[in-house]
Structure formats: structure tokens, C-alpha cells
Amino acid sequence: MKAKVIFMDTKMWLLLTPILLIQLILMIINLINISKKSKTKYLSKIIWVFIVILTSYIGNICYLIFESGDDGQDDSN
């Protein structure tokens, strides 16, 4: 008896592709944002990089919630 190899069908790929693309885009945007910041509010930059890369959506959303907004610098000169 042959072992049956299960591959994802086309419908599954059509469902997963946008989800994975959104996650990848979010990760890239957050990593660029982390690299541009001179200082982060709550955690060090290297910790945020690990969180964003290793925890997919949760890490990206946490970064957006806690580190979004201005850097506390007043540019109104």
C-alpha cells in the first residue's frame, strides 16, 4: 500500500497567499521602522527585531500598538 502524500490544493493556496503576504509586508515595514528610529520607547531595538520576526502577527501588532507615533521629539522648530 502506497503512502498518500497530501499537498495543499489550489483553494488552500488562494486562502493562505494573501494572509502570508500581509504578514510579510507588515514585518518588512516594522523592521524598516525599527531601523530608522534612534530610540524605542519600551524595549531595545534588538528585542523588537526578535519579537517582530519570531512572533509573526502578534509581534507586529504589539510593535504597532506600543511603538507607533512620534519618538517624543519635537520637530516644530
Nearest to 32, CA basis, from 72, 67, 58 = 67
pLDDT one-digit tens code per residue, 16-70: 899 999 999 999 999 999 999 888 888 999 999 999 999 988 999 999 999 877 6
CA distance 48 to 1: 50
What pLDDT score does 46 carry?
93
Residue-by-residue DSSP string for 36-55: H-S--SSS-HHHHHHHHHHS
